[in-house]
Structure 1
């Protein structure tokens, strides 16, 4: 049975931080704009305040994108929500964002260990678990989510798990490390390549699909590369330029004229 988070037909667009090159990142304004463009999926980041409120924010501190300073984990939510993204809109909690956009699915990237328990508490609501994919660069954080909720929550793959899948795509049946991969619903979310190796290849996409996992590639902002990745068979693309990706997906849905 397909997890509800994964039941949309590809190709999918995911607005990275809501579309960070076209609106203030991780703001309701950015999220609304993505929804207006037809996006069903939004990628965002989660930090936790000193009093355990998960907030939608990328950086460790408020300094870069707000008029205030200080580390989020050192401040209570009442202080954090006084900060304004781009001097316009306050920082919001994850609960507020889920409530604002009840029909949107969110890919949430847990940025720190102290945010795990608050996110687990929020995910105890079954309707949230159907709308959320939990991602992290930390395998331990992902394991905590999987152990708490089993297959009722979709997760991303940690870098170490991506490496296992990449090895499997190259070695096939000769590779014996598949036991290190998650058993439940997952999204394979990767860059096209690392500094040393190409990640997204036809064999890699096939290896993910063989396990029932879609491949989402980040963070792609140029139309030519978007087309090339969709031609390889990837299921979704994360972008900071949702209007560009919207145009690409619309082009690909149009029937081709006979030659």
Structure 2
């Protein structure tokens, strides 16, 4: 297969521009101000993090503790939503609930990193209640957590590749092995016009790991042969963005959305929402 999977979440005319936590280098991360900033720039894709309050409300929050990003303290998981709603983040607004973002930004597509086991149930419920299955891509550094989310949606929601699956792909690309040997079980790729894929639609990786290049021409080619889009995080330098786009990556996650937009505009690959 020469092209990435045609999943609803991925349908876009050019490389995906994903604002990391809403563009945390240009606005307070995971805040309403960040959402408004990226929307004003024409970004359609919001990379974010999900954790749950003590009463099962999904909040867009990276850290387990509230200290760094809000005027609150301690673990989010020990607070009810009523308590969190009274706090203010670095932009001066209340922290964001996932349900509000899904309702207020219906054209937005979200790449959501589930940061803890306890958020899986509430996350599945809120996405389902909003009818947002085609608007999200679920990710996690936990393979077990990712399997739970895939199973909960019956494989009908886009996900990224799991950590172990990604490691096998990186090793296979480095060894230049045949695509079929890259995984113990091949990806299930739908026929054109068929249902959404039941497994991962993207591999999301840093350019390097431990000083070793991850995103190379063989890696991109192998991912594409397996029906996977390649998204690279977190890239803030224009030169690095250009190099990765020249390699054929399908999306870039950045804290500097203005920089990425300028790079894509210069290449004639910036496609704002219709």
- How big is the shift at 1:181? 6.3
Of residues 32, 45, 68 in structure 1, which corresponds to 2:72? 68
Of residues 54, 58, 61 in structure 2, which corresponds to 1:57? 61
Of residues 226, 238, 241 in structure 2, which corresponds to 1:223? 238
Note if 1:214 corresponds to 2:229.
yes
- How big is the shift at 1:174? 8.2
Write the distance in 1 (CA, Å) between the matches of 2:148 and 2:113.
14
- How big is the shift at 1:167? 2.2
- Structure 1 partner of 2:90: 86
- How big is the shift at 1:182? 5.2
- Structure 1 partner of 2:177: 172
Write the distance in 1 (CA, Å) between the matches of 2:12 and 2:220.
18
Of residues 233, 237, 250 in structure 1, which corresponds to 2:252? 237
> Cα distance 1:117–1:166, how it changes in 2: closer, same or farther (>3 A)?
same
Q: Give the number of the structure whose residues are more often helix, by fraction.
A: 1
SS in structure 2 of the partner of residue 15 of structure 1 = strand
- How big is the shift at 1:173? 2.3
Of residues 111, 128, 131 in structure 2, which corresponds to 1:127? 131
> Cα distance 1:87–1:154, how it changes in 2: closer, same or farther (>3 A)?
closer
Question: Looking at both structures, which has the greater relative contact order when contacts are Cα pairs under 8 Å and sequence separation is at least 6?
Answer: 2
> Are the equivalent residues in 1 in contact too, given 2:33–2:91 (CA < 8 A)?
no
Bigger shift: residues 13-22 or 175-184 = 175-184
Q: TM-score, normalised by structure 2?
A: 0.88
Note if 1:194 corresponds to 2:199.
no
- Structure 2 partner of 1:257: none
Write the distance in 2 (CA, Å) between the matches of 1:74 and 1:182.
39
Note if 1:205 corresponds to 2:210.
no
Bigger shift: residues 165-174 or 155-164 = 165-174
Note if 1:37 corresponds to 2:57.
no
SS in structure 2 of the partner of residue 13 of structure 1 = strand
Counting matched residue pairs gives 254
SS in structure 2 of the partner of residue 90 of structure 1 = coil
Unaligned runs of 5+ in 2: 189-198, 270-274
- Structure 2 partner of 1:23: 27
> Cα distance 1:73–1:32, how it changes in 2: closer, same or farther (>3 A)?
same
Write the distance in 1 (CA, Å) between the matches of 2:226 and 2:37.
34
> Are the equivalent residues in 1 in contact too, given 2:103–2:130 (CA < 8 A)?
no
- How big is the shift at 1:92? 1.6
Write the distance in 1 (CA, Å) between the matches of 2:149 and 2:235.
28
Write the distance in 2 (CA, Å) between the matches of 1:167 and 1:175.
13
> Are the equivalent residues in 2 in contact too, given 1:161–1:181 (CA < 8 A)?
no
Q: TM-score, normalised by structure 1?
A: 0.93
> Are the equivalent residues in 2 in contact too, given 1:164–1:181 (CA < 8 A)?
no
Write the distance in 2 (CA, Å) between the matches of 1:70 and 1:128.
31
